[in-house]
Amino acid sequence: MDDSQTYYFYVLLCADKSFYGGFTTDVAKRFATHLAGKGAKYTRAHRPLRVLYSEAFDNKHDALHAEWEFKHQSRRKKVIFLKKHGITAENCELD
């Protein structure tokens, strides 16, 4: 096992103004997969527009936990999370 691997939790803004949270080892590659319609079932139905947020973790467990936490929040709490991390209504559709 390679202990130097970095894992990422990321949030996408979708065309219907919904958010998608996921985890990966390569955000740019995973986003390209979503754009190609080969990503998650959710992003095949809700076209992703851009990566709003990503956070690096030293281990898979922590990245998966961040993803799980985000996915189990209400939209209001997701917006609060994004605003706390510098994502504003000016650079995405938060409201």
Q: What is the dihedral of CA 93, 74, 19, 64, to 10 degrees?
A: 140
- pTM for the model: 0.90
| Residue 11 near residue 84, CB atoms below 8 Å | no
User: What's the CATH fold of domain 7-84?
Assistant: GIY-YIG endonuclease (3.40.1440)
Say if residues 88 and 94 touch (Cβ distance below 8 Å). yes
pLDDT tens per residue across all 95 residues of the chain:
456 899 999 999 999 999 999 999 999 999 999 999 998 999 999 999 999 999 999 999 999 999 999 999 999 999 999 999 999 866 566 65
User: Which amino acid belongs to residue 29?
Assistant: K
What does the domain layout of the chain look like in residue ranges? Answer: 7-84
